[in-house]
Amino acid sequence: MRKLSSLILAATALSFTVPAANAAEAQRNDRLYDASGSSVAKVNRVTDSGDLLVIYKGKVRRIEASTLSNSDGKLMTSLTKTEIRRLD
């Protein structure tokens, strides 16, 4: 019985975890800022996994959800513009 209650408790705890992208609350047309605080682009799309698609320097770039955060009400990525430019 003890193992069953532990499993139920663990499953319940996992169901309440919030992915990084949801914590960043990214939405379409939000302005994205890089690690230095400079504006990068507007969010074109938020994928089901929480990654962002933006158009930067004429190409669609995928910004991973794990790099996103909200800082002072701004949607920030830990990537620099140089790192974003190298993304596919």
Q: Evaluate if residue 5 carries a pLDDT over 80.
A: no
Q: What's the pTM value of the predicted model, to 2 decimals?
A: 0.71
Cα–Cα–Cα angle for 60, 65, 23, rounded to 5 degrees: 135
Q: Evaluate if residue 47 carries a pLDDT over 90.
A: yes
Domains in the chain, start-ordered, CATH in brackets?
A: 19-85 (2.30.30.240)
Bridge partners (DSSP) of residue 70 are 75
Q: Evaluate if residue 32 carries a pLDDT over 80.
A: yes
Handedness of CA 29, 33, 38, 41 (dihedral sign): negative
Task: Name the least confident of 20-24, 31-35, 50-54, 79-83.
Answer: 20-24
The closest alpha carbon to 69, from 12, 30, 29, 11, belongs to 30
Q: In the prediction, which pLDDT does 57 show?
A: 94
Q: In the prediction, which pLDDT does 13 show?
A: 54
